[in-house]
Amino acid sequence: MAIVYAVKERTQSRIAMKKVMDYVAQDYKTMFEDAQGNRLKLLSGQNCCGETAFQEFMATKKQYRKEKGVYFYQYVQSFKPDCGATPQEIHQMGIELARRFEGYEVQIATHIDRDHWHNHLIVNSVSCKSGLKLQFNEKDLEQLRTLSDEICAAHGLEILKPYRKPAMKPMGAGEYRSAVRGGSFKFQLMNAIDTALAQSRTQAEFTACMEEMGYGVKWIPHHKYITYTAPTGQRCRDNKLHDEKYLKERMEQHFAQLERTQGFEQAAGEPTKNHSALSAAGQRYPNRGMGRYAQQPDGAAGTDGGAGTVYLNLADHSRNRESHPGLLSGDIRQTGGYAVSGHQRPAQADFADCDRDALEAGEQSELEDTAGIQGADGSAPTPGHAAVEAQSKMDGRGAALLDGALYLAKSVEDLVNPYDPDAERQKYAQECMRRKSGKKKKQKHGYSPQYEQDMEQSM
């Protein structure tokens, strides 16, 4: 197994190149003694001699008048300790790797003074054949690593897994400190995206929720990334959010899965969150999420023909609360343009068949008790008993509706005025400061807790 990396040479000059080449060619690092007692120096050169590589490098530069800028490049091929190869084989693999720099002079030195034997490749920046300078970027380094793996495999050595550039950039130290202080706009953006995803089933609803929270979303089909704009004006792409679930490809897969699930539910006849009976806010804003904009439209007077009359569907309440905790998506629904007042029935009320039958049976029993109709055994009801029982049933139903209305009001209040822990802490700190300043004023004017207690006892 071998790894290949580039050594960044900050100083580029004639003297710096001379020092590096003398270092890699030291005898105690490159000298090897075989089983027969022969001493071999593991130093070679490509298009040059290993011992006189520096002079040949400078001669090439003077020939093409390129003695400025970058003088040389250095690469290291390091092997795992006890990899199973001999020093001669490792040196041979370094010579084969230097062939990647065809037309350039390369000094190859193998160091065996450490547990991990490694090859040093010093490459002249000027070609000895064309006079062109070497251009070697990150992509070329990946190709060099691939070539090293092929050479190791040919010599029967273990190879590394293919190199892959990480999809997400790691978090820097400055951003980490900002996140600890709670001032990182990226983490605030990620929280907003999570909230919008929990309330949306389509891309349009997600965009509307983000815009409601003050974030701009630039989601263009033929663009590679999604670009978000924070309320403070800062921009950020999806690949800078430290989690692959925010990437455009993952987001599209998420909404596609929701769309398929919704289609299966509709085909099976099960009610879904995007029912035909839209919320009041959903009719005014068809592209927005129902749970977030549950508010009554203008003109909902509750009279005959009113288009904004709403009722509370308690049957779907538990299901919607499980899917979206704290929201009432689907609980507020329209009655199809008819008012619900007195004994009027909604023309297209979205009740289930069992709920409708139970309601009709309850109304019929109330009418029979109120009119004093005899029971099944033929006995006459007690005077006033029917009226009291009917009144109790109506009170029970009214109490259930009242509880539902109170829960609805509380949920809407939570949506309009969400709980802000930072504001609560600031308010508590201000209250502590106010009390502390009040105590200081009392002490300044000669007041004390014991004096106040004596005054209260005397009174």
Render pLDDT for 306-362 as a digit per residue (tens, 0 to 9): 433 344 444 444 444 444 444 433 443 333 333 333 444 444 444 445 445 555 555
Q: What confidence score (pLDDT) does residue 22 get?
A: 93
Q: Which range, 328-337, 365-374, 431-440, has the best average confidence (pLDDT)? A: 431-440
- Give me 244's structure tokens: 């692959």
What is the mean predicted confidence (pLDDT) over 206-226? 92
Answer yes or no: is pLDDT of 296 > 50: no
336 in Cβ contact with 328 (< 8 Å):
no
Residue spans per domain, the chain: 2-154, 182-267, 280-374+381-416, 421-458
- Give the fold, CATH level 3, of 2-154: BirA Bifunctional Protein; domain 2 (3.30.930)
The Cα 77–Cα 6 span in angstroms is 9
- Give me 202's structure tokens: 């389509």
333: β partners: 311
Among 255, 274, 273, 264, which Cα is nearest to 204's? Answer: 255
pLDDT by residue (tens digit) across 253-267?
Answer: 999 988 888 777 777
* Max CA pair span of the chain: 126
- Alpha carbon of 129 to those of 59, 70, 102: distances in Å? 13, 18, 9
Phi and psi, residue 112, nearest 5°: -125, 20
- Give me 337's structure tokens: 């343009």
